[in-house]
C-alpha cells in the first residue's frame, strides 16, 4: 500500500497534466465545441496521422532543445529564461556562416554552420552567466531582457544588412541546398533536428548522472556551501552551464534555419524558448524525460491547428491550457512523498480495521 501511494506521488506531473486538461475542457465547453471532440481531433491529429506526426516532430526539435537549455542550468539552481533569445542568436550566426562563407566542401561547411549557431547561442547564454557569477546580477531578469535584444537584433539583420532584395517583409536570401538537414519522413517537413535533440538529451543525462561535471553541477544547485567546501569552482560551473545551455538553444535556432525555413526570418520563433521552461518542469528536470514532455507539448501545439481546422475552435485555447499545465505542474511540486506521514496514516488505518474486526 505504501508502495502504491509512493507510485501515485511519482506520477504527480501526470496528474497535474490531467488536471490541466480537465480545466481546459471547462474552458472549451464555454464555446460551442464539445471538449471531447476538440481533444479527440487534437490528439488523433497530432499523434495518429502521418502529416500530423510530422508537424509534431517539426515543433519538437526546437522545443526539446530549448527544454534541455532550461534543465542544465536549473540543475545548478540557475533560471535560464533566455532560451528564446539564444535560439534567435544561434539562428543569426548560423545563417551568417551559411550565407557569407566562401565556397568549401559541404561537410566542412555544414559543420561550421552548426558550430557557429551553437557558439552564437552559447555567447548569449554566457553573458548572463558571467554577470551572475562575477557581478551577482539576477540571471532571470538579464536573460529575459536579452531575449528582447536578441529578437530585435535578428529583425534588424533580417530587415537590414541581410535582407533578401525585394522581399515583402524581413527575411534573408535562401541558404545553399547542400547545407539543408536531411528529412526523416518522406514528403513532409520533419527534419533530423529532432534526432539530434533526442541524442543530446541522452548525452546530457549520462553527463549528469555519471560524470563529475554533472555531479558538481547538481551539488552547486542542491547545496552551495557544500559545493564550495568540496572545492568546486562555483563560478566556473555557472559559466559552463549557461554557455552549454545557450549553445544547445543556439542549435535549436540553427536547425530552424537549415532544417525548416532555409532562410533567416524575423520573428521566426513563436516562443519555443518559453516552451522549454514548461518542458523542463514537466520532465521534473530529468534530461531523459525531456524528449517525452517535449513530444507531449509539441503534439499539443501541432494538434491545436489541426483541431482549429476541424472544429473551428480557436487554437489559442491550447496556449491557455499550456499555461494551466505549468501552473498545475508547479503546484504539484509542493506535494512531496512523506514516507513517515503515510506510514503513520496507513498503520492507523490498519489498526482501526483490526479493532473493528475484533468487535464483530
Contacts of 165 (CB under 8 A, 6+ apart): none
- Closer Cβ to other proteins, 51 or 156, answer by number: 156
- Tell whether the torsion through CA atoms of 191, 197, 202 and 207 is positive or negative: positive
Stretch that binds other proteins, among 40-48, 199-207, 233-241, 320-328 (CB under 8 A): 320-328
Binding mask 125-164 for other proteins (x = CB under 8 A): ------x---xxxx-xxx-xxx-xx--xx-xx--xx----
- Closer Cβ to other proteins, 152 or 286, answer by number: 152
Q: Which of 54, 194, 277, 282 binds other proteins (CB under 8 A)?
A: 277
What minimum distance in Å lies between the beta carbon of 286 and other proteins?
A: 16
Site for other proteins in 68-127 (CB under 8 A): 79, 81
Q: Which of 18, 101, 230, 331 binds other proteins (CB under 8 A)?
A: 331
What minimum distance in Å lies between the beta carbon of 144 and other proteins?
A: 5
Binding mask 31-50 for other proteins (x = CB under 8 A): x-------------------
What minimum distance in Å lies between the beta carbon of 300 and other proteins?
A: 11
Distances (CA, A) of 350 to 7, 286, 345, 353: 20, 36, 9, 5
30 binds other proteins, rule: CB under 8 A: yes
CB of 128 closer than 8 Å to CB of 82: yes
Distance CA 255, CA 262 (A): 9
Site for other proteins in 333-352 (CB under 8 A): 333-334
- Tell whether the torsion through CA atoms of 154, 156, 162 and 166 is positive or negative: positive
Contacts of 188 (CB under 8 A, 6+ apart): 50, 51, 54, 55, 58
330 binds other proteins, rule: CB under 8 A: yes
Three-state SS at 5: helix
Distance CA 96, CA 113 (A): 8
Which of 200, 183, 74 is closest to 125 using CA atoms?
A: 74
Contacts of 288 (CB under 8 A, 6+ apart): 201, 202, 205
What minimum distance in Å lies between the beta carbon of 176 and other proteins?
A: 25
234 binds other proteins, rule: CB under 8 A: no
Distances (CA, A) of 155 to 175, 183, 268: 18, 28, 9
- Closer Cβ to other proteins, 204 or 300, answer by number: 300
Q: How many chain residues interact with other proteins (CB under 8 A)?
A: 47
314 binds other proteins, rule: CB under 8 A: yes
What minimum distance in Å lies between the beta carbon of 245 and other proteins?
A: 16
Distance CA 118, CA 112 (A): 10
29 binds other proteins, rule: CB under 8 A: no
- Closer Cβ to other proteins, 33 or 190, answer by number: 33
Distances (CA, A) of 40 to 34, 195, 253, 305, 323: 10, 27, 32, 13, 20
Q: Which residues bind other proteins (CB under 8 A)?
A: 27, 30-31, 79, 81, 131, 135-138, 140-142, 144-146, 148-149, 152-153, 155-156, 159-160, 170, 266, 274, 277-278, 281, 314, 316-324, 326-327, 329-331, 333-334
Amino acid at each position: 500500500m505504501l508502495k502504491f501511494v509512493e507510485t501515485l506521488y511519482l506520477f504527480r506531473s501526470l496528474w497535474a497534466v490531467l488536471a490541466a486538461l480537465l480545466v481546459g475542457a471547462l474552458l472549451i465547453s464555454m464555446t460551442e465545441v464539445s471538449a471531447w471532440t476538440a481533444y479527440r481531433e487534437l490528439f488523433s491529429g497530432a499523434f495518429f496521422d502521418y502529416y500530423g506526426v510530422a508537424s509534431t516532430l517539426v515543433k519538437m526539435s526546437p522545443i526539446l532543445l530549448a527544454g534541455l537549455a532550461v534543465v542544465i542550468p536549473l540543475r545548478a539552481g540557475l533560471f535560464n529564461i533566455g532560451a528564446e533569445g539564444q535560439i534567435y542568436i544561434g539562428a543569426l550566426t548560423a545563417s551568417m556562416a551559411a550565407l557569407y562563407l566562401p565556397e568549401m566542401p559541404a561537410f566542412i561547411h555544414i559543420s561550421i554552420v552548426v558550430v557557429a549557431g551553437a557558439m552564437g547561442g552559447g555567447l548569449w547564454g554566457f553573458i548572463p552567466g558571467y554577470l551572475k557569477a562575477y557581478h551577482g546580477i539576477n540571471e532571470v531578469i538579464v536573460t529575459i531582457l536579452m531575449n528582447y535584444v536578441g529578437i530585435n537584433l535578428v529583425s534588424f539583420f533580417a530587415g537590414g544588412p541581410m535582407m533578401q532584395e525585394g522581399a515583402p517583409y524581413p527575411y534573408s536570401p535562401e541558404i545553399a541546398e547542400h547545407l539543408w538537414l536531411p528529412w526523416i519522413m518522406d514528403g513532409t517537413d520533419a527534419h533530423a533536428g529532432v534526432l539530434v535533440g533526442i541524442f543530446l538529451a541522452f548525452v546530457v543525462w549520462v553527463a549528469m548522472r555519471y560524470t563529475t561535471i554533472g555531479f558538481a553541477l547538481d551539488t552547486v544547485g542542491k547545496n552551495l556551501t557544500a559545493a564550495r567546501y568540496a572545492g568546486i569552482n562555483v563560478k566556473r560551473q555557472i559559466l559552463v552551464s549557461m554557455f552549454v545551455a545557450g549553445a544547445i538553444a543556439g542549435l535549436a535556432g540553427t536547425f530552424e534555419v537549415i532544417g525548416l525555413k532555409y532562410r533567416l526570418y524575423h520573428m521566426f520563433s513563436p516562443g519555443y524558448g518559453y516552451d522549454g521552461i514548461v518542458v523542463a518542469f514537466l520532465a521534473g528536470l530529468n534530461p531523459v524525460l525531456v524528449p517525452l514532455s517535449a513530444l507531449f507539448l509539441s503534439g499539443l501545439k501541432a494538434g491545436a491547428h489541426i483541431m482549429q481546422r476541424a472544429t473551428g475552435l480557436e487554437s489559442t485555447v491550447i496556449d491557455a491550457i499550456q499555461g494551466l499545465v505549468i501552473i498545475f505542474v508547479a503546484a504539484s511540486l509542493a506535494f512531496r512523498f512523506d514516507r513517515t506521514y503515510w506510514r503513520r496514516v496507513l498503520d492507523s488505518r490498519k489498526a482501526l480495521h483490526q479493532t473493528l474486526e475484533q468487535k464483530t
